[in-house]
Amino acid sequence: MHPTRLLPLPIAFVAAALLVTACGTSDEASDAGQSASPHASASPTPSETAPEPSATPPSSSGTAKPKPQPEPSRPPGAQKSVRGLVSAGGAAKGPLDKAATPLADAAAIKKYAATLATSLRAPFTTEATRLLEHVPAGERLYAQTVFDGCESPEPATITARGSGNDVVLDVQQPKGTTTQCLVAERSVALLSVDQGVG
């Protein structure tokens, strides 16, 4: 049996001190183990929780859609002119109007209707009253007898032009047919026109 050699006390003390310094104390070791644990409850920093900004711009199919462009000849939000055409058989009496008559209110409609043949009065009054409610701001409703014939013109062909201080309504006459009519119809055009015309 060989006798055990013990290191001198100062060398043993220095070796123990180096070992503790290299490994840390038992408290430090337990702290280091907790921070490395996947169940650590440390609060994340703001940079860890904030989502990264998107590198691509928002899609055009998102909620912000481009607004439709207004018609070039009208300011945004303006309504289209109202128009109508009333025809009745047996109403072709007297000459056609040379200029349009402004219809500012119900009294003006009634006054103009009185100049028409009996068969035209009621349908004209009904249509003019309906259209008057939809005249865009800055426009005025006008009426004019525009055509006598066997067929009624198309309302879409009604146009207005200024003639001195008057407004004149024109309508494209329908193409003639071989059908012979016994009683000609008279047509009254209704159109809202900008107050600056005429």
Express each pLDDT in 27-48 by its tens digit.
544 454 444 444 444 444 544 4
Does residue 17 carry a pLDDT above 60? no
Q: What percent of the chain stands above pLDDT 70?
A: 58
- Provide the phi-psi class of 63: left if phi over 0, else alpha when psi is between -120 and 50, else beta: alpha
Helices (H) and strands (E) in the chain, counts: 5, 6
Higher-confidence residue: 166 or 14? 166
Q: Which residue has the tokens 């100062």?
A: 10
pLDDT in tens, 90-132: 888 789 999 999 999 999 999 999 999 999 999 999 999 999 9
Task: Give the mean pLDDT of 129-153.
Answer: 94
- pTM value surpassing 0.75: no
What confidence score (pLDDT) does residue 12 get? Answer: 54
Does residue 59 carry a pLDDT above 60? no
